[in-house]
Amino acid sequence: MTYISRRHFMQVAGSTLATVGLSQLPIFRQAERYGKVLAQSTPRKLALLVGINSYPDGKHSRALKGCLTDLELNRNLLIYKFGFKPQDIYTLSDKKATRQGILEAFEEHLINQAKPGDVVVFHYSGHGSRVFDPDVLKYGREQGTTGFTGSFVPVDSRLPTGYPNTGGVVQDILGHTLFLLMSAVQTEYFTAVLDSCYSGGATRTFNYIVRSRDGGANLKVADSEKAFQEKWLSRLNLSEAEYVRRYREGVAKGVVLAATDTYQTAADARFNDFHAGAFTYYLTQYLWQATSTVSDAIANVNANIPKRFKQTPKADVKVGSGYLSQPIYFIDAQQAPAQAVITEVNGGQVKLWLGGLGQKNLARVYNGTVFSIVDTSGRSFGTVTLQSHDGLIGEGTLAGTAESGTLLQLASDSSPPRN
């Protein structure tokens, strides 16, 4: 297993950050309500999920296709596998994911609500970039002497008119800013999942899009971004020297799961009949199947993500914490492996989320595919027969009794009919 070296978290924006469930029915219900018990018997679980597809479809900032799918991949995983309450998951997508919208949501939903011992998840899917920050040179905030720092690209951060011939200010969110926001969250059980990259000038390659917006020395940090940083330095009572020391030491808090290594690009790719971030897809698909530590999860994603994407997902943790060997998201979700979950029941008809199906199995499901309703020991208590599906959303017929959150596995005799 490999993991990202110290300081890499904030050196890249988006690759790492660029710069940061006692008759059979009662037994079944008891097992499959595990996620709901988790939500009641453990500290609060909060999540902020950000995904942006609708960037201007131009030469320097392509529109993306899989970031909103990433939100649903993570949202359904957190609810049905890790016991998050839907009302505790806040999402920002496309036009709502402005610079102000992201920063305010982080402050109000995570910083102002999380208490010590709570579980917090922040997910970002979108473009990463690279801009010039004079404080990098003035205070030695980064290694090297280029003055560049990594950033996230909100939906309202546009390149200056005339770029690249002319420069100007962009409304990006710096990795340094995320470091300060993470520092302010009042729990150590923080996980950041970052599915973007840092690679100015990247364009379409093979059958996927690179999650990178152009950057460069003539793109400057907005005054509002610097003022925001100063506000949090003051609130955290951090001198510039102490901030730089902590920043260079490593991750501010908890765990960071990053789509790529330093300077690599992250793929926004097609899977069967939908698009998603390659990192988010392989991570969430694996977590439906396994109870995992941080290090095992990253090792599995690295073993399965296609080589053509040329990205090496990484994990970094707070120095000296031992969090690499902790359960993913700091939740020991002891549930049966699942390939699908029932999200809605209406009599004998159900709606399904198929996020636990691997790409090959997803390509093989058909109208008539049978899923077994199983408990944590793998015993079956009914079936669901797939009637139709569009991407990862399906509809089926229920034989037995189930409710929203019921986990499903492919039945052993569910292979497609031969022609």
The CATH number of residue 317's host domain is: 3.40.50.1460
Mean pLDDT of 224-239: 95
415 occurs within a structural domain: no
pLDDT value of residue 351: 97
Mean pLDDT of 118-126: 97
Domains in the chain, number: 2
Instruction: With a cut of 80, say whether residue 18 has pLDDT above it.
Output: no
Which of 330, 361, 377 terminates a domain? The answer is 330
Confidence of residue 37 (pLDDT cuts 50, 70, 90): very low
Q: 370 and 256: one domain?
A: no
Residues 6+ positions from 340 with CB-CB distance below 8 Å: 352, 353, 354, 355, 356, 357, 371, 384, 394, 407, 408, 409
Q: 371 and 305: one domain?
A: no
16 occurs within a structural domain: no
Q: 220 and 72: one domain?
A: yes
419 occurs within a structural domain: no
Confidence of residue 291 (pLDDT cuts 50, 70, 90): confident
Q: 323 and 361: one domain?
A: no
pLDDT value of residue 126: 95
Confidence of residue 104 (pLDDT cuts 50, 70, 90): very high
pLDDT value of residue 208: 63
Q: 262 and 369: one domain?
A: no
For the entire predicted model, the pTM comes to 0.85
Q: 252 and 392: one domain?
A: no
User: Is the CB of residue 194 less than 8 Å from the CB of residue 124?
Assistant: yes
Q: 244 and 377: one domain?
A: no
pLDDT value of residue 146: 73
Confidence of residue 230 (pLDDT cuts 50, 70, 90): very high
Tell me which residue of 52, 67, 5, 15 sits closest to 266, measured CA to CA: 15
Instruction: With a cut of 70, say whether residue 416 has pLDDT above it.
Output: no
13 occurs within a structural domain: no
Q: How many Cβ atoms are within 10 Å of 403's Cβ, its own excluded?
A: 13
pLDDT value of residue 216: 74
pLDDT value of residue 264: 83
pLDDT value of residue 288: 94
Which of 279, 298, 330 terminates a domain? The answer is 330
Mean pLDDT of 46-66: 87
Confidence of residue 144 (pLDDT cuts 50, 70, 90): low
pLDDT value of residue 3: 35
Instruction: With a cut of 80, say whether residue 123 has pLDDT above it.
Output: yes
Kindly report the average pLDDT of the chain as a whole number.
83
d(CA 41, CA 336): 19
Q: 313 and 209: one domain?
A: yes
What is the domain-level CATH number for residue 375?
Answer: 2.40.30
Q: What is the pLDDT of residues 146-204, one digit of tens each?
A: 777 888 999 999 888 888 888 889 999 998 999 999 999 999 999 999 998 753 223 33
Q: What is the pLDDT of residues 370-403, one digit of tens each?
A: 999 977 666 778 999 999 999 999 999 999 889 9
d(CA 85, CA 74): 13
User: Is the CB of residue 330 less than 8 Å from the CB of residue 189?
Assistant: yes
Q: 382 and 344: one domain?
A: yes
Q: Which residue has the higher pLDDT, 166 or 10?
A: 166
Instruction: With a cut of 90, say whether residue 95 has pLDDT above it.
Output: yes
Share of residues in the chain with pLDDT > 90 (%): 58
Q: 238 and 260: one domain?
A: yes
Instruction: With a cut of 70, say whether residue 305 has pLDDT above it.
Output: yes
Which of 280, 303, 330 terminates a domain? The answer is 330
Tell me which residue of 359, 284, 279 sits closest to 328, measured CA to CA: 284
pLDDT value of residue 12: 35
Q: Which range, 19-23, 202-206, 312-316, has the best average confidence (pLDDT)?
A: 312-316
Instruction: With a cut of 80, say whether residue 210 has pLDDT above it.
Output: no
Mean pLDDT of 253-279: 90
Residue 346 backbone phi and psi in degrees, to 5: -135, 85
Instruction: With a cut of 60, say whether residue 328 has pLDDT above it.
Output: yes
Confidence of residue 287 (pLDDT cuts 50, 70, 90): very high
Instruction: With a cut of 90, say whether residue 9 has pLDDT above it.
Output: no
266 occurs within a structural domain: yes
Q: 311 and 198: one domain?
A: yes
326 occurs within a structural domain: yes
Tell me which residue of 405, 410, 414, 412 sits closest to 28, measured CA to CA: 405
d(CA 216, CA 149): 10
Q: 377 and 250: one domain?
A: no
Share of residues in the chain with pLDDT > 70 (%): 82
pLDDT value of residue 375: 73
pLDDT value of residue 381: 81
Domain that holds residue 346: 340-410
pLDDT value of residue 57: 62
85 occurs within a structural domain: yes
83 occurs within a structural domain: yes
